[in-house]
Amino acid sequence: MLKIKIKLKEVLKTKGITQKNLEAMTGIPQSRISTLCSGNRQEVNLLMLEKIAHALDITDLSELIQLEEEN
């Protein structure tokens, strides 16, 4: 079975942006960003992903999410 993996933690590290910086850029609470980074989120709000992608100048969502085999 395939599982959606959010790669936000890796993207933030690569771009040198903290969760608090992203909060300021998007208006999304740091606690929700932290949950996305931890990979424990069961549901993802598409508007939230759009805001994150816009703030991080991402035009290809494969930079933020990927499908992987669940163990």
Spans of all domains in the chain: 2-69
Using the predicted structure, report yes or no on whether residue 71 has a pLDDT greater than 90. no
- Position 26 scores a pLDDT of 97
The secondary structure element, H or E, covering residue 65 is strand 65-69
Q: What is the pTM of this model?
A: 0.86
pLDDT digits over 2-59, tens only? 888 899 999 999 999 999 999 999 999 999 999 999 977 778 889 999 999 999 999 9
Fold of 2-69: 434 Repressor (Amino-terminal Domain) (1.10.260)
- Position 70 scores a pLDDT of 78
Alpha-carbon distance 67 to 55, whole Å?
A: 23
Other beta carbons within 10 angstroms of residue 30's beta carbon come to 15
